[in-house]
């Protein structure tokens, strides 16, 4: 586990949230899935009867909400997802000369973050894109966004699954602390819907698409009245197979279907819950204390948004009887699991009301296992 106590004076001066216009409710998703499952079971009735194939179980909106707390998700395109004959989004391929879909998402969030921070592209020296999935291997999505904004500097992509947002924020802070950049634009465009197996009852409802962005800079260059000073960061990874995606280019060399069984997102939910909750709670508790605050005294926790039961358990561990949705906001009911972006969505939506001197924790946890956290304090400038 690594912890870095930053030199004072480095802040997150603005964030941006771009939400896709298309949304899908649990009821809509279940209607499409159940129609698919019934057709599948009818088509394979003989194999199912012989015990050679498992029947597809039906689902319900109530099952999804009870299991996850999710009621809705935003997606880049509803087309295809709700078609029982397709069961995956339809996203037409773009020519190389046109901006990629993931870069377009990130660009929209980036412009909102720059506007909130009172910055222009000329003020930015570096762009970091962190996401659970990248649309392509290269050129980097970050460099594409850098080019679209006209930023003179450097850019790179990084991927740590669910913790890509907090890890990329930490790399931005490192760059500003080291003096290799004055201001860094961190972008987390989560294009998750193409990696979902919409024919799997236990995972088809989990993810949504979204893009968030943040501006990291020194306090003395801020152009806004208030910002969030980062007091300390901490990162931790422990290898686990319980959350996995095997989609990759080597499928071509193995003569297997790159979208076949086991290649898209899958998880052992019960093991993840049992192992990640205590790991995340201990990580946050130790980090907050090392930064000079008791966990129960933290004004707000912006936690990873994967499962409401996980968040509630961690919040109670940290805050006891004072745990509440006001102090640990939930956004997954509307956005679903958005990969690494959930904690930054919560921070974007539920931070302006806090006062100078209030402290909070931005924390993500999940596949890897990986955990990243930042202890922040609101400051007036």
Q: Is the pLDDT of residue 374 over 90?
A: yes
Q: How far apart are CA 169 and CA 372, in angstroms?
A: 9
Q: Is the pLDDT of residue 2 over 70?
A: no
Q: Is the pLDDT of residue 358 over 60?
A: yes
Q: Which tens digit of pLDDT belongs to each residue from 14-27? A: 999 999 999 999 99
Q: Which tens digit of pLDDT belongs to each residue from 265-294? A: 888 888 888 988 999 999 999 999 999 999
Mean pLDDT value of segment 163-190? 97
Q: How far apart are CA 18 and CA 110, in angstroms?
A: 9
| Percent of the chain surpassing pLDDT 90 | 86
Mean pLDDT value of segment 94-108? 98
Q: How far apart are CA 74 and CA 25, in angstroms?
A: 9
Q: Is the pLDDT of residue 3 over 60?
A: no
pLDDT-based confidence at residue 232 (cuts at 50, 70, 90): very high
What sign does the CA torsion over 259, 265, 270, 271 have? positive
Query: What pLDDT is recorded for position 154?
Result: 98
Query: What pLDDT is recorded for position 356?
Result: 97
pLDDT-based confidence at residue 368 (cuts at 50, 70, 90): confident
Mean pLDDT value of segment 152-156? 98
Q: How far apart are CA 70 and CA 312, in angstroms?
A: 14
Q: Is the pLDDT of residue 8 over 90?
A: no
> Half-sphere exposure of residue 85, counting CA atoms within 13 Å on the CB side?
0
Query: What pLDDT is recorded for position 36?
Result: 98
Query: What pLDDT is recorded for position 244?
Result: 86
Q: Is the pLDDT of residue 329 over 80?
A: yes
The residues, any chain, with a CB within 8 Å of residue 109's CB and separated by 6 or more, are: 16, 17, 18, 187, 188, 189, 211, 212, 213
Active site residues: 162
Query: What pLDDT is recorded for position 272?
Result: 86
Q: Which tens digit of pLDDT belongs to each residue from 128-152? A: 999 999 999 999 999 999 999 999 9
Cα distances (Å, whole numbers) of residue 89 to 73, 193, 203, 287, 332: 14, 7, 15, 40, 21
3-state secondary structure the chain: CEEECCCCCEEEEEEEEECCCEEEEHHHHHHHHHHHHHHHHHHCHHHHHHCCCCCCCCCCHHHHHHHHCCCEEEECCCCCCCCCCCCCCCCCCCCCCCCCHHHHHHHHHHHHHHHHHCCCHHHCCEEEEECCCCCCCCCCHHHHHHHHHCCCCEEEEECCHHHHHHHHHHHHHHHHHHCCCCEEEEEEEECCHHHCCCCCCCCCCCECCEEEEEEEEEHHHCCCCEEEEEEEEEEEECCCCCEECCCCCCHHHHCCCCCCCCCCCEECHHHHHHHHHHHHHHHHHHHHHHCCCCHHHCCEEEECCCCHHHHHHHHHHHHHHHCCCCCCCCCHHHHCECHHHHHHHHHHHCCCCCCCCCEEEEEEEECCCEEEEEEEEEEEC
Assigned token pair, 30: 């279940």
Higher pLDDT, 297 or 263: 297
Q: How far apart are CA 120 and CA 104, in angstroms?
A: 18
| Percent of the chain surpassing pLDDT 70 | 99
Q: How far apart are CA 283 and CA 235, in angstroms?
A: 9
């Amino acid at each position: 586990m690594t912890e870095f106590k930053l030199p004072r004076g480095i802040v997150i001066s603005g964030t941006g949230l771009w939400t896709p216009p298309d949304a899908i409710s649990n009821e809509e998703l279940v209607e499409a899935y159940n129609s698919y499952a019934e057709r599948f079971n009818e088509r394979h009735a003989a194999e199912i009867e012989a015990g050679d194939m498992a029947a597809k179980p039906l689902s319900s909106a109530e099952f999804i909400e009870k299991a996850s707390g999710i009621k809705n998700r935003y997606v880049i395109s509803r087309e295809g997802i709700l078609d029982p004959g397709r069961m995956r989004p339809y996203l037409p391929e773009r020519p190389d000369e046109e901006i990629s879909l993931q870069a377009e998402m990130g660009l929209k969030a980036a412009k909102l973050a720059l506007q909130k921070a009172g910055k222009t592209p000329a003020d930015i020296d570096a762009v970091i894109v962190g996401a659970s999935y990248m649309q392509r291997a290269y050129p980097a999505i970050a460099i594409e966004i850098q080019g679209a904004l006209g930023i003179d500097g450097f850019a790179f992509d990084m991927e740590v699954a669910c913790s890509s947002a907090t890890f990329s924020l930490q790399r931005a802070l490192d760059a500003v602390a080291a003096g290799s950049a004055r201001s860094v634009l961190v972008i987390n465009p989560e294009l998750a819907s193409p990696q979902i197996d919409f024919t799997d009852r236990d995972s088809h409802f989990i993810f949504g698409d979204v893009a968030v962005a943040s501006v990291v800079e020194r306090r003395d260059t801020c152009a806004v009245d208030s910002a969030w000073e980062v007091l300390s960061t901490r990162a931790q990874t422990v290898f686990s197979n319980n959350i996995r995606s095997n989609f990759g280019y080597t499928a071509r060399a193995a003569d297997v279907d790159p979208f076949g069984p086991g290649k898209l997102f899958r998880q052992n939910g019960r093991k993840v819950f049992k192992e990640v909750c205590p790991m995340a709670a201990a990580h946050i508790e130790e980090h907050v204390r090392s930064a000079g605050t008791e966990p129960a005294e933290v004004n707000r926790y912006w936690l990873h948004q994967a499962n409401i039961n996980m968040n509630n358990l961690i919040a109670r561990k940290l805050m006891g009887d004072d745990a509440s949705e006001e102090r640990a906001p939930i956004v997954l009911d509307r956005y679903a699991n958005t990969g690494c972006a959930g904690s930054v969505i919560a921070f974007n939506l539920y931070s302006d009301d806090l006062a100078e001197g209030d402290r909070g924790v931005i924390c993500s946890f999940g596949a890897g296992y990986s955990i990243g956290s930042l202890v922040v304090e609101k400051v007036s400038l």
